[in-house]
Amino acid sequence: MATTSESAFDYVIVGGGAAGCVLAARLTENSNVTVCVLEAGPPDTNPLIRIPAGVIKLLFNPKVAWQFRTEGSPGTNGRPVFAPQGKTLGGSSSINGMIYNRGLPSDYNAWAQAGNKGWGYDDVLPYFKKSERRVGKGDDNIRGRSGPIPVTDNEWFTPLTEAFVAGVTGTGVPRNVDYNDGNQAGVGYMQRAIEHGRRVSAARGYLGQARGRVNLEVICRAQAERILFEGKRAVGVAFRQSTGGARRTIRARKEVIISAGSLNTPKLMQLSGIGPANVLQRLGVDPVHVLPGVGRNLSDHFGVRTVVEIKGAATANELSRGPRLGWEVAKWLMGRPSILGLSSSLAYVFGQSQAGLDQPDLQFVFTPISFKAGLFGVLDDFPGISLGVWPHRPHSRGYVEARSTNAFEDPIIQPNYLADSYDQRTIVAGIRQTRKFLGTPEFSKYVVRESVPGPALEGDDELLDFARQTGSTIYHFCGTSRMGPATDVNAVVDDHLRVHGVERLRIVDASIMPDVPSGNTYAPTLMLSEKGADLIRQDAAKL
């Protein structure tokens, strides 16, 4: 990647996360187009990024992860929720659980039905295919085979995972060998962005292709302070590389593109004078354009975990200690299956909270590891597994606001978890089903006891309180720059991802999703970024 003193580029991208990496790689395929990426974090050189199991440490490392905390709310019994996000090249794709999950076709058809032309499932499927390189079984009409991000099957097996899948199948849930083929319902093994035991982030998969291009510059440790406007036309970005450092500016000849993520994008918009009138007034920021939806419509998956103590089979708890850990490290270094190469979960169930639904409304994730209650990252002393669950399409909505005009200060994040009665009912039903799945004849022979929440909690109110007291983010924040037509008062961008009411400003990241997809957000973010790059190229001739 070039390192020049040029201060004007065709496109300036704020954020070197998953979306920013896709855009930078695709736009610079044209050697006549110049691009500058401003990334608030460092280069992705931390060695733990390449080790999938390193996520346990990376989430708590302020050098590579924003250490965000939500505001307390009744849905969490007043408790703030730790909500780290990626702060390095690759963004959250460098610190996430690496699960590849497209969601349901109906998710995208709903986007199109809401007035977003070109965003139905048939429209976005080519971009899902373009972004992935499926290594394993899959219909070539649906799965990509030559994209930058490898999508592989699990290589490390344990009798526990096999017993879990067999047991769930015995309850009547169908076996599903490819939940990314448009038919999600069932039980099976997770697909993940890991190859040969190493994480493949968007920085590695996409920027890796672009390294050395003279038309690309990436500036790390660059905190964007505001978008620069001439009238209502975006013309550049002001940023600093430290809290006391000099302010620098980068000019955009064609467009400024914000790809800072669902929590930082609305903050930057508000600091730049675009947002709800009351927020701009509180901040003392002169309005460029009053846009009520900026920072509203925050959506996330909120999950809880059931933990059981295990006998008769090894879990990652024991394999992560002493000489056994040394052997796992050795296997990983030799390229053999090892716990160091595991994704955040190994098996899944996409199920229903009640009979008769036409599609799954719950996601369950099985992991042969468990943590002490309230201490994520601290392993239990006993052999244990975790089975997490969350509502697929939560109804609760929250907001993000800039806390002050200091761009280095974390935003106010209020997801309003479990505010909606549907979410409350669904998560309680999910906890009950976890007990059903862990109590099958195939799996229960390995179970010593239920550690969390514990068999004493049985009533709906008790289980809901357990969710409020222990539930956590699944790191799937989206919706704060909602895509929709100008007639939608809460829409922030149009179906070309252009910000309503201003010129030459676009948003390309998970914040534009109208609703959280029925699955993890990494694959949809890659898709929308690929499509965003095409939209930018299509519109370039009009500038």
Distance CA 441, CA 383 (A): 19
Q: Assess if residue 122 is contained within a domain.
A: yes
Average model confidence (pLDDT) for the chain?
Answer: 96
Confidence tier at 421 by pLDDT (50, 70, 90): very high
Q: Assess if residue 169 is contained within a domain.
A: no
Q: Residue 378 has what pLDDT?
A: 86
Q: Assess if residue 392 is contained within a domain.
A: no
Catalytic residue among 289, 301, 392, 476: 476
HSE-up of residue 139 (Cα within 13 Å, Cβ side): 10
How many domains in the chain? Answer: 1
Distance CA 460, CA 463 (A): 5
Contact 488, 517 (CB under 8 A): no
Residue 173 has pLDDT above 60, yes or no: yes
Q: Residue 242 has what pLDDT?
A: 87
Q: Catalytic residue at 496?
A: no
246 contact partners, CB below 8 Å, separation of at least 6: 240
Taking only Cα atoms into account, the Rg of the chain, rounded to an integer number of angstroms, comes to 23
Q: Assess if residue 265 is contained within a domain.
A: yes
Q: What integer is the mean pLDDT of 467-483?
A: 98
Confidence tier at 4 by pLDDT (50, 70, 90): very low
Q: Assess if residue 76 is contained within a domain.
A: no
Residue 1 has pLDDT above 70, yes or no: no
Q: State the alpha helices, DSSP H only, in 177-224.
A: 202, 208-210
Q: How many C-beta neighbours within 10 Å does residue 35 have?
A: 28
Q: Residue 5 has what pLDDT?
A: 41
Phi, psi of 267 (to 5 degrees): -60, -50
Which of 2-11, 441-450, 501-510 has the weakest average pLDDT?
2-11
Q: Assess if residue 36 is contained within a domain.
A: yes
CB-based burial, 238-248: b 16+ in 10 Å, e otherwise: bbbeeeeeeee
**pLDDT per residue as tens digits for the range 65-97:** 999 999 999 999 999 999 999 999 999 999 999
Judge if pTM exceeds 0.95: yes
Q: Which domain holds residue 127?
A: 1-47+85-154+198-297+478-543
Task: Write the CATH number for 528.
Answer: 3.50.50.60
Which of 160-169, 323-332, 368-377, 398-407 has the weakest average pLDDT?
368-377
State the pairing for strand pair 347-351/412-414.
Answer: unpaired
Q: Residue 244 has what pLDDT?
A: 84
Distance CA 513, CA 482 (A): 6
Q: Assess if residue 532 is contained within a domain.
A: yes
Q: Residue 2 has what pLDDT?
A: 43
**pLDDT per residue as tens digits for the range 266-325:** 999 999 999 999 999 999 999 999 999 999 999 999 999 999 999 999 999 999 998 999
Q: Assess if residue 433 is contained within a domain.
A: no
Residue 166 has pLDDT above 50, yes or no: yes
